[in-house]
Amino acid sequence: ILNVEQSPQSLHVQEGDSTNFTCSFPSSNFYALHWYRWETAKSPEALFVMTLNGDEKKKGRISATLNTKEGYSYLYIKGSQPEDSATYLCALATGGTSYGKLTFGQGTILTVHP
Amino acid sequence: NAGVTQTPKFRVLKTGQSMTLLCAQDMNHEYMYWYRQDPGMGLRLIHYSVGEGTTAKGEVPDGYNVSRLKKQNFLLGLESAAPSQTSVYFCASKTVTGLAVNYNEQFFGPGTRLTVL
Ranking A21-30, A41-50, B50-59, B71-80 by mean pLDDT, the lowest is A21-30
The whole-angstrom separation of Cα A16 and Cα B23 is 38
Chain A residues inside the 8 Å CB shell of B26: none
Cα separation, B49 vs B54, in Å, equals 6
The average pLDDT across A4-27 equals 94
| Phi (first) and psi of residue A24, to 5 degrees | -115, 145
CA A38 to CA B105: how far, in whole Å? Answer: 15
Q: Identify which has the larger pLDDT, A31 or B101.
A: A31
Report the candidate in B11, B9, B26, B14 with the shortest Cα–Cα distance to residue B70: B26
Nearest-angstrom CA–CA distance, B74 and B100: 24
Q: How far apart are CA B58 and CA A101, in angstroms?
A: 10
pLDDT band at B42 (very low <50, low <70, confident <90, very high): confident
Measured CB to CB, residues of chain B less than 8 Å from chain A are 3-4, 9, 31, 40-45, 48, 50, 56, 90, 94, 96, 100-111
Angle at A95 between CA A91 and CA A97, to 5 degrees: 105
Q: What is the pLDDT of residues A68-111, one digit of tens each?
A: 889 999 999 999 999 999 999 999 987 656 667 888 999 999 99
Q: How far apart, in Å, are the Cα atoms of A14 and each of A6, A35, A104, A107, B23?
A: 21, 23, 27, 20, 37
Closest by Cα among B88, B85, B50, B83 to A41: B88
Mean pLDDT of A20-29: 87
Q: What is the pLDDT of residue A69?
A: 87
A53 and chain B in contact, CB less than 8 A = no
Handedness of CA B5, B8, B13, B17 (dihedral sign): negative
A57 in B contact zone (CB under 8 Å): no
Tell me if A100 and B40 make a contact (CB, 8 A cut-off).
no
* Residue A1, pLDDT score: 63
Q: Determine the pLDDT at residue B95.
A: 86
Please report which confidence band the pLDDT of residue B74 belongs to, taking 50, 70 and 90 as the band edges.
very high
Q: How far apart are CA B91 and CA B68, in angstroms?
A: 13
Rounding to the nearest 10 degrees, give the CA dihedral for residues B89, B42, B61, B59: 150
The chain B residue lying nearest A106, using CA atoms, is B42
The answer to whether the CB atoms of A43 and B111 lie below 8 A apart is yes
DSSP B92: E
When CB atoms are compared, the residue of A42, A51, A98 closest to B103 is A51
How many angstroms away from the CA of B77 is the closest CA of chain A? 21
Q: Which residues is B76 bridged to in the sheet?
A: B21, B66
CB contact under 8 A, B90 and A98: no
Do A49 and B31 lie within an 8 Å CB cutoff? Answer: no
Look at A42 and B103 and tell me if their CB atoms are within 8 Å: no
Contact assignment for B56 to A99 by CB distance below 8 Å: yes
Average pLDDT, chain B: 93
Q: What average pLDDT does range A8-20 have in this prediction? A: 96
